[in-house]
Amino acid sequence: MKFYEFNKFEYYALILASSEEDALEGYNEILADLEEEKSKLKPDVITEEQALKRYKKSVIENCETEEEKEEDFCISIKSFKYREEEAIKRGIELSEKYQIFLVDGSLL
């Protein structure tokens, strides 16, 4: 599980995923078609601390303070980890292979 930052792509995104392939799938499904860009660009892998820093700087719905943003961030990570662990325990494929944390403001 890693954070993938799409900062060189048409639209910015910060996505948590088990693999780069899953992160690219999430970007393609939610933000923009990657067919042309996919072969040329790769998202940057950043640390959880770097991801949290970017998350705190962003406008997050229902979060007014940095503390609320950090709590929301941590809850989202725990939820993703739990779903991933449950899928492994049950021997099934994870239905949601990625978690989108931030998207380009121009898309909102």
Query: In this model, does residue 91 exceed pLDDT 80?
Result: yes
Query: For the segment 2-13, what is each residue's pLDDT rounded down to a tens digit?
Result: 999 999 888 999
Which residue, among 90, 107, 100, 97, has the nearest Cα to 22 in the 3D structure?
97
Given CA atoms 51, 56, 57, 61 in this order, what sign does their dihedral have?
positive
Q: What pLDDT shows up at residue 16?
A: 98
Which residue, among 96, 101, 72, 99, has the nearest Cα to 14 in the 3D structure?
101
Q: What pLDDT shows up at residue 108?
A: 65
Given CA atoms 66, 72, 78, 84 in this order, what sign does their dihedral have?
negative
What is the pTM (predicted TM-score) of this model?
0.89
Query: For the segment 35-82, what is each residue's pLDDT rounded down to a tens digit?
Result: 665 557 899 999 999 999 999 999 999 999 999 999 999 999 999 999
Annotated domain spans of the chain: 2-107
Q: What pLDDT shows up at residue 20?
A: 95
Q: How many CB atoms lie within 10 A of CB 65?
A: 9
Reduced to 3 states (helix: H, G, I; strand: E, B; else coil), residue 50 is: helix
